């Protein structure tokens, strides 16, 4: 029927991306892993047999026991049940990864937009600072900042301190992307066309530029979650984290001191880290393929 | 390069003085150095001068290579000198191995796209990408040092020589696990990149032209495609070196490797501020030198890039 063909709109950018993402097997596996970990994080208080940092098993005489039916991942010498701790840690590690990544993206957008919008001295200065943050050995400074600020000013801030420091050192990648894309999109014909049709600055920005840099931002935010979770694990493993908050890295830190005798303390939290990070990486790669306009079918 | 160096100097100086002065910070960490050390720190940080002069004086000393004394009273520069080479030994061997293995494997994976071995290689790579380096080290230590008893779990050399009482073999035995871990993680990056670049290049018209003119697949792959796919990889080699150095605190702590990274983690935990500042600055310089070398090699490989 001719009428229907007239009214049929071409699929939107997001519909096309979603259709392509659904066909991407590894992207779907990644998303499934992410959803799995999110569920664990939400349901942690219900699923975990023991509470966060609970030494209960010590009084049940199970301290230092290898994996069994009651303690599927084994028990630490101190009496901490690893299975519960991995579940409780999921919550905190996802919190660090998600919040740090979102903060990083917001910070990167702000700084990148300033660099892309202004011209001349301000733009050069912002670019220079971005490059400095891109090249510096970030982990060293993160460790140092976490250590100093956790004993000095922000006692008891726990994970939020780590989140803030991760974001402070992590925004340069996003900022580069935003700046580059803004500069690129700004000069494209459709933006010029919109401008010549009389579109104002805000319409140009939100209707034309932002949607076009949204795709790379979604991808980089997803991949950053993976990166920040890895960094948090390293920070806690090296003993710089909060010893009263359940994280995967903290269990790995405790496992390292009993590495000779109790392999299970090191093994299971590490597997959780690998799969969680893998999930976000696969999802990010899948999104990157699905959202790439150059791969349009 | 200079802004980066200055930026790192400012950041490490600022955090070291966040409690007022480095001495206050060391005390806040409940450490009590001897009066002599306190005195030499007072002189090194020019605590008798006004605040705005202190940073410049410290930075000037830094440029002259004067890194002060650590809170144990030993010269920071001398301590770093000893750790520098153990770190470099590990990093360079791993980097060379990763490049030597990563490029052919990436090429193979790209030329056999969607084959079983391609899936195996890419999965292997993405796992390496998602794994904390130190955790892989822990697992290898548990398996090869404690379960099988083949390799040492820590240090760069032993008191009793392993593997037939030869110092070279002993050093190799100690290198095996840390090198394996670092190589795998860096390999993962290279394989992914080489594969992606090769696939991109293989779609170009000049590859089709080369094939059409009857050149062998081998010539097309290695003489035409790889040459063009390899140039961006050079940049990433520099970045990977910087990344591995930056991650050294975790890897070296796992293997108790007596290098800069292990020393950094210990010093930062103990709030040994002069030592921490010294190591951070030295590692930054190493990263910058690696980046500079990368740029130079890139300019040689790609004539379109001019050295400015």
Enumerate residues 131 to 150 of chain A having a beta carbon within 8 A of any beta carbon in chain B: 131-133, 135-141, 143-145, 147-149
Report whether pLDDT(A275) > 90: yes
Contacts of B173 (CB under 8 A, 6+ apart): B151, B152, B158, B162, B163
Is the separation of the CB atoms in B67 and B80 below 8 Å?
yes
Q: What percent of chain A has pLDDT over 70?
A: 92
3-state DSSP call for residue A81? strand
For residue A195, count other CB atoms closer than 10 A to its CB.
Answer: 15
Q: CA of A273, closest CA in chain B: separation in Å? A: 7
Closest to B173 measured CA to CA, from B146, B193, B144, B213? B144
Dihedral (CA of A279, A280, A281, A283) sign:
positive
Per-residue pLDDT of chain B (308 residues; tens, 9 = 90+): 788 888 888 888 878 777 777 777 777 776 777 777 777 777 777 777 787 788 888 888 888 887 777 877 788 888 888 899 989 989 999 999 999 998 889 888 888 888 888 888 888 888 888 888 899 999 998 888 887 877 777 777 765 555 566 677 777 888 888 999 999 988 888 888 888 888 888 888 888 888 888 888 888 888 888 888 888 788 888 888 888 888 888 899 998 888 899 999 998 888 888 888 899 999 988 888 888 888 888 888 777 766 55
Instruction: Among A27-36, A155-164, B237-246, B296-305, name the most confident range.
Output: A27-36
pLDDT score at B192: 87
Q: Is A237 in contact with B134 (Cβ distance < 8 A)? A: yes
Q: Mean pLDDT over all residues of chain A?
A: 84
Whether complex ipTM tops 0.85 = yes
Question: What is the C-alpha to C-alpha distance for residues A207 and A189, in angstroms, rounded to an integer?
Answer: 15
State which residue of chain B sits closest to A240, comparing Cα positions.
B269
Chain A interface test: which of B2, B4, B132 (most A C-beta within 10 Å): B132
State which residue of chain B sits closest to A148, comparing Cα positions.
B15
Q: Is B276 in contact with A239 (Cβ distance < 8 A)? A: no
State which residue of chain A sits closest to B238, comparing Cα positions.
A135
Find chain A residues with C-beta within 8 A of B279's C-beta. 140
Average pLDDT over residues A71-77: 81
B68 vs A193, more confident: A193
pLDDT score at A1: 45
Tell me which residue in B146, B247, B254 faces A260 most closely, judged by beta carbons.
Answer: B146
pLDDT score at B24: 75
pLDDT score at A76: 79
Find chain B residues with C-beta within 8 A of A286's C-beta. none
Report whether pLDDT(A232) > 90: yes
Tokens at B27, concatenated = 């005390």
Question: What is the C-alpha to C-alpha distance for residues A61 and A46, in angstroms, rounded to an integer?
Answer: 24
Q: Is A144 in contact with B280 (Cβ distance < 8 A)? A: yes
pLDDT score at B17: 77
Query: Tokens 């976000």 map to which residue?
Result: A280
Tell me which residue in A131, A234, A240 faces B132 most closely, judged by beta carbons.
Answer: A234
Tell me which residue in B25, B246, B254 faces A137 most closely, judged by beta carbons.
Answer: B246
Instruction: Among A70-74, A104-108, B167-171, B299-303, name the most confident range.
Output: A104-108
Tell me which residue in B18, B29, B246 faces A139 most closely, judged by beta carbons.
Answer: B246
Question: What is the C-alpha to C-alpha distance for residues B126 and B191, in angstroms, rounded to an integer?
Answer: 10
Q: Give Cα separations from B80 to A83, A224, B263 (angstroms).
A: 41, 33, 9
- Asked which of A63-77, A247-261, B171-185 is least confident by mean pLDDT, the reply is A63-77
pLDDT score at A7: 58
pLDDT score at A155: 62
Average pLDDT over residues A221-249: 91
Average pLDDT over residues A53-79: 77
Q: CA of B20, closest CA in chain A: separation in Å? A: 11
Report whether pLDDT(A39) > 90: yes
The count of CB pairs under 8 A between chains A and B is 137
Q: Across-strand partners of B69?
A: B75
Find chain A residues with C-beta within 8 A of B131's C-beta. 273-274, 277
Contacts of A201 (CB under 8 A, 6+ apart): none
Instruction: Among A72-81, A94-103, A140-149, B21-30, name the most confident range.
Output: A94-103
Q: Per residue in A120-151, pLDDT tens?
A: 888 888 888 898 888 888 899 999 888 888 87
Cβ burial of B192 (10 Å; 0-12, 13-18, 19+) is: buried
Tokens at B83, concatenated = 């750790």
Q: Is B287 in contact with A237 (Cβ distance < 8 A)? A: no
Q: What is the CA radius of gyration of chain A?
A: 23
B214 φ, ψ (degrees, to nearest 5): 85, 15
Cβ burial of B171 (10 Å; 0-12, 13-18, 19+) is: middle
Q: Is B18 in contact with A277 (Cβ distance < 8 A)? A: no
3-state DSSP call for residue A75? strand
Average pLDDT over residues A212-238: 91
Q: CA of A198, closest CA in chain B: separation in Å? A: 40
pLDDT score at A117: 67
DSSP letter at A55 equals -
This prediction's pTM: 0.88
A81 φ, ψ (degrees, to nearest 5): -75, 120
């Amino acid at each position: 029927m001719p009428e229907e063909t007239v009214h049929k709109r071409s699929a939107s950018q997001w519909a096309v991306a979603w259709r392509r993402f659904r066909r991407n097997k590894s992207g779907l596996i990644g998303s499934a892993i992410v959803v799995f970990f999110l569920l664990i994080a939400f349901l942690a208080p219900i699923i975990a047999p023991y509470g966060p940092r609970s030494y209960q098993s010590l009084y049940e005489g199970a301290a230092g026991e290898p994996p069994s039916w009651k303690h599927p991942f084994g028990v630490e010498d101190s009496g901490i049940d690893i299975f519960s701790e991995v579940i409780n840690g999921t919550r905190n590690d996802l919190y660090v990864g998600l919040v740090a990544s979102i903060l990083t993206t917001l910070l990167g957008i702000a700084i990148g937009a300033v660099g892309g919008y202004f011209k001349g001295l301000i733009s050069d200065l912002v670019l220079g600072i971005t490059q400095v943050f891109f090249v510096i050995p970030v982990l060293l400074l993160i460790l140092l900042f976490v250590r100093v600020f956790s004993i000095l000013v922000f006692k008891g801030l726990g994970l939020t301190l780590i989140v803030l420091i991760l974001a402070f050192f992590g925004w340069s990648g996003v900022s580069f992307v935003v700046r580059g894309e803004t500069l690129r999109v700004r000069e494209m014909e459709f933006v010029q066309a919109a401008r010549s049709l009389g579109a104002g600055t805000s319409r140009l920005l939100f209707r034309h530029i932002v949607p076009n840099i949204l795709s790379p931002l979604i991808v980089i935010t997803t991949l950053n979650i993976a990166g920040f979770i890895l960094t948090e694990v390293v920070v806690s493993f090296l003993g710089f984290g909060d010893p009263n908050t359940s994280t995967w890295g903290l269990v790995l830190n405790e496992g390292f001191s009993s590495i000779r005798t109790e392999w299970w303390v090191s093994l299971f939290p590490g597997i959780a880290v690998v799969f969680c990070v893998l999930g976000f990486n696969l999802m990010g790669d899948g999104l990157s393929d699905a959202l790439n306009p150059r791969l349009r079918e | 390069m200079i802004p980066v160096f200055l930026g790192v100097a400012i950041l490490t100086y600022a955090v070291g003085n966040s409690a007022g002065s480095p001495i206050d910070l060391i005390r806040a960490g409940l450490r009590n150095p001897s009066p002599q050390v306190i005195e030499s720190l007072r002189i090194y940080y020019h605590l008798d001068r006004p605040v705005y002069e202190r940073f410049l004086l410290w930075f000037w000393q830094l440029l002259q290579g004067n890194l002060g004394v650590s809170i144990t009273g030993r010269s920071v520069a001398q301590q770093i000198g000893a750790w520098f080479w153990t770190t470099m030994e590990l990093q360079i061997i791993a980097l060379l191995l990763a490049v030597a293995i990563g490029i052919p494997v990436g090429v193979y994976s790209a030329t056999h796209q969607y084959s079983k071995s391609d899936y195996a290689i890419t999965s292997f790579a993405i796992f390496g990408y998602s794994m904390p380096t130190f955790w892989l080290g822990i697992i290898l230590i548990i398996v090869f040092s404690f379960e099988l008893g083949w390799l040492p779990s820590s240090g760069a050399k032993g008191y009793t020589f392993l593997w037939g009482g030869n110092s070279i073999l002993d050093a190799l035995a100690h290198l095996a696990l840390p090198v394996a871990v670092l190589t795998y993680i860096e390999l993962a990056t290279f394989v992914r990149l080489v594969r992606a670049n090769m696939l991109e290049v293989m779609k170009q018209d000049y590859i089709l032209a080369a094939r059409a003119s009857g050149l062998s697949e081998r010539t097309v792959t290695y003489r035409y495609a790889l040459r063009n796919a390899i140039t961006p990889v050079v940049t990433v080699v520099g970045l990977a070196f910087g990344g591995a150095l930056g991650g050294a605190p975790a890897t070296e702590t796992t293997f108790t490797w007596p290098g800069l990274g292990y020393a950094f983690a210990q010093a930062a935990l103990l709030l040994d501020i002069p030592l921490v500042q010294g190591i951070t600055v030295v590692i930054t310089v190493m990263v910058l030198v690696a980046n500079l070398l990368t740029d130079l090699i890139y300019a040689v490989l790609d004539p379109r890039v001019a050295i400015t």
